[in-house]
Amino acid sequence: MIIVLLASTLLLAALCCFLTLAVLVLARQIGVLHERIAPIGQQPVLSGLQAGQALPRLTAKRLDDSLLIMGGQHDAGRSSLILFVSPDCPVCKRVLPIVQAQASIHDLDLVLAGEGDVAALRVMASGIRLGATPFVTSQELLLLLQIGRLPTLVTLDPRGVITARDVANTRQQVEALIATLPASSSPSLDTKEFLHDAV
């Protein structure tokens, strides 16, 4: 009888230890998942250039050390997006394909602006699908916009005027920000006929 009680006690103790370990592992995993997929929500913008203000023309440096002109009047009359990312932001990597797809659908220029160590940004760039998307660093851009939370999406109309800037970590938030841009205008039927007659 004593042996049976001892065995059952040991079994219960082992099961309690196993359950405690399982709860700790699950709690850690839930914390990681919450950090990666929980919407951050809309954050107040307290400083930097705001919607309605123009981003001045500036020169940013790509990760390969070549230069990229940003801001000001767009030479081709296109709207553009700037997505601010960081190597230690897991949500940034998840939202990037969404922003790239939306930029392609709406025929927008997209630039990634990195915050943090350049070496870490290069490692980040090597692990994501950039395609033709330029990845730049610019202290001047960071000072002008003063981004507080990541990933932040800034939308610019063809004149270089900011139409919106906010945290964007879901498709709905990305689409809402892009919706503030003016619709791309295509030549009307009369214009096409005029051009055809002129030829």
pLDDT tens-place string over residues 172-183: 999 999 999 998
Alpha-carbon separation of residue 87 from 28, 70, 115, 121, 149 (angstroms)? 21, 22, 8, 6, 13
List the end-to-end C-alpha distance of the chain, in Å, as a whole number: 106
More confident residue, 190 or 131: 131
Tens digit of each residue's pLDDT (9 = 90 or more) over 1-55: 788 777 788 888 888 888 888 888 777 777 665 555 545 444 454 478 999 999 9
Tell me the pLDDT band of 184, cut-offs 50, 70 and 90.
Answer: low
Do the Cβ atoms of 138 and 60 come closer than 8 Å? yes
What percent of the chain is predicted at pLDDT more than 70?
84
Lowest mean pLDDT among 23-27, 127-131, 160-164, 169-173: 23-27
Q: What are phi and psi of 125, to 5 degrees?
A: -65, -35
Task: Output the pTM of the full model.
Answer: 0.70
Mean pLDDT, the chain, as a whole number? 84
